[in-house]
Structure 1
């Protein structure tokens, strides 16, 4: 054996072992001895590619291809390198030369099929894959490619058969598992599809495409928590398609994590500002959070967009702002829309409007087609049950919701739990407490945003530092800078905070700080602050913090001389900073019995009830620790008073704070109270064993 042959053999051994740097050096040694050899140049190019020097490798492959344009193997490797570098159009020429020299080149036929598939040339792609399979009927890449083409051609059964053959040939082939998942999904077998996608993700955990498909499927099946994890992973892996961003936001919305969902949509719209689907989802989230004026602003930006979905959003906005006639008129236009889901949503909205107007017969008329067609999804079932119950037919209402709760095949646990909680509230209000209790067993689905806020803004070490703090010094004197102290609002879910915010949104006399700038205001105060850090702030720093906190009011003529309202949620460890920056500021403290709050959380479907109770108790102790020591004007707002005598309670509160809670404010409170557990809270003693920690 010649020295040259020996070196080449050693180089091939090193290449096969994955030692590409050593293999490159040996191939170069052989090339020096043999002179220009396109095959050796090709191997050097492959070594460079696989050791992370893709551009250098491409140069070598191009040089090899130029020396021997008729070598199909070299031309195929050059085409593959161009595809890997994101230059598929440039890859077509070497592929053509390869197939001219060798029409039966299996890998080239398959690669050309994938290029055609990427270019949406589905029929041409299918022809390429079929030609490849005539060369080797069990070639997995051609089988998976043909399966994907057949899915686009509306042939899911054929796609499944080819994907199953590919998976049988190579069970560890992620592409085969992915294709099989798509086929199963197209055939309605979402459980099998999910398992195949999980297999693919385990085989190829760094594939954003696989995680994106899994997250999309999970979200569609109501597995929102798992969908969030999968879609977040897809984003981190660079698979940030529109579907992934909006699917992630939608799943967060379904979990009740509305702050995070809105942030996600806003980040998406920074990338794609004019995307109408993203704009529409932002409107939905704003309406879900009661931010009607902001929703109106976004809808105005969508003025050029016409179509049924925008009409539905306008109807939702009209409903949220109490313009029920307009909401009814807009929704009625869509009852027979071509898109079934949209028509159903419009009928559902009509049902809600009719219920709000006290016209149960009209509500049932709007919803009945959904029930008759078997499309009684949770929202329409719940609304229909409400309208039936309003007529005193509790047993019929119970039957509607029990069908939903017991349908384990059709509905996810979280959907069934929502139906069960709704039924529990109806039975509780009817005095059937024992029956109501049995429908409180399914676990909650609703994520409490405040728990995440506490973990982020008030970590355990900071809480411990403030819990031990007793030296608050002298109560700070007022800072004379011509700026008014804001009015702050505390409170947890079920305390009446949400009702007060709804009334404040409609009140006259005060000006609200933007919720969108809440983080900016926190940063203006330097939060979070430990006790020693707060003590070190001099008057100059305090004045600057006030200026930045209230900076959005500069130039606003409508704010002159009016009370300023900050609707942000504040953790207790932020109160000392508020007292230093805004001495004497009013802080509204909604108050409810602890046991009643726990019952509200249970009925509202919150998860982590034990943690909520523990964190609430700790925050309450912290508040009682701070209250006598801080220069803040704490204004007590009893929930019972707010529920039983809203007009008188708001009038008293308004008089003390310079606010005018007139009829629109009362309507806003009433609207926010509707379809919530507030009217059940007084019955908490009947469920003591379920709410006591």
Structure 2
């Protein structure tokens, strides 16, 4: 009879197999084997509870059968009774230490609960019995995935799939490994094979839909998910259906699913965000209001719902917004999101008293809320600067993390500047420099001035005055606001700012050692030029049509440029050197160059500017000097100045420039505090045409 039952199961005749098994079990009430086969047939027909009862009856007959305990563990695992399954597995292994399947199932249970170490341990035990078994490779592959080793996981699961191409656990693991490696097309194929062979449980279909979504095929993703949208559907699946429909350009259909998702889980921010976008596309504020009010009636404590409800209030309807906020605050009086919304609405309507009150309440509720403290400081700066300073100082004692501490010190420096406490401001900036010192580049070396009797190579690459510029080098010292000029150049084909970032080009224009090596003949300029030119290709630049924003400048670079780089020019960006020093101290620079003190920074700055003046005065190279005082963040004025200097139009394209700078001449407020450093800079300032005082 057992053979007949197994043959019926192999044919997929599950009803026939169950009828045979019931008849055999009734005829042999004391036969454990008959009960075991009945359990198998019941399980094949989806009756896990009946199957478990049959296994338990078999165990009453032979309580020490390891295979029955393993069968019981499998059924319990299918019902998500993890603890019961583990207990049954331990009994199975205790009765038969060579029970390979028990070790594998224990490993799979460990994976399900995220215990990678235990899964690995069980895998090692199973490996002693059947090394290279596909189940074992599958477990090891999933462990590798859990440890974020996607390449290793894919290799293991591919081997498992070769040995067991029809095993659903292996195929599912292989699909996950493909996804982890970014191979969505292969993942799609594995998932489709799995679904075609084994049917389509909801999690598999959802995974396939997400894979298609990542391939920008939302309509196909929805079709793959559709069979899983019948009956009782989890909120996450409903949300995915809505998202796919929305991405496929069907906002009305999307809302049908998203309304259900919101009703099932009113606290899910993603479903709410998608619904808001669908309502926006349909311009249907009425439906949005009805849906959200209905959801709030059932879940008034859902902060995400209140945020969405406030978001659909018209921008110009302040009274309606205040009404929603009042209800929100009544429902959730301690909700930081409500406090934040009240604070921002008060700011938007000009009610600074209310904004300050809400900001303080929010800061008490969440002491680390940066937005609240920013509002407090901004309002107090206008009303009571001393109180603003005291507030920021009070935060310094409790703040955690270097980044937050740096922000507070920088804020204090600017507050003290605004209140005329110039000596204190300089002290703040110096303390900030000390904190950042380990993360800053040292001052670049400076070669000897022309007056030291240096000989220059012939300018053989100069070309005629009318030679078009193919290569433009841009540089400005720290504090010059050269970053705003770079922003204007960023729309020019070939512009590169990668020298300011990690992974910068390693060439003559980047290495500090170039200064000494070029001046002393240790570096062949022709070799340096070839290295730079070849590097342009790897940076995606063709034919030397490039705007190079340099990290530093030294006149020793002319030994490369004069004889070897034709059709080139340099743009130097400057302001009053004393303003540059102050800007550098207060706002740092994108070059991230540090200095041990204002005096050291001033000495270096004076030397660097002196070199630029040498080039201009001795006509050593094709150079444009652009002084940008008073127009540092004015895109139109700055663009006009650059166009004039270069002799060619520069389209600024409505670009927004950083306003983080002091106004021109601000240095005079620090004339006493920084008298020594300014004295070092005054001579070069006057050579540039700035007044002495």
TM range (shorter): 0.3 to 0.5
Structure with the largest fraction of helix: 1
Q: TM-score, normalised by structure 2?
A: 0.41
Structure number with larger C-alpha Rg: 2
Q: TM-score, normalised by structure 1?
A: 0.41
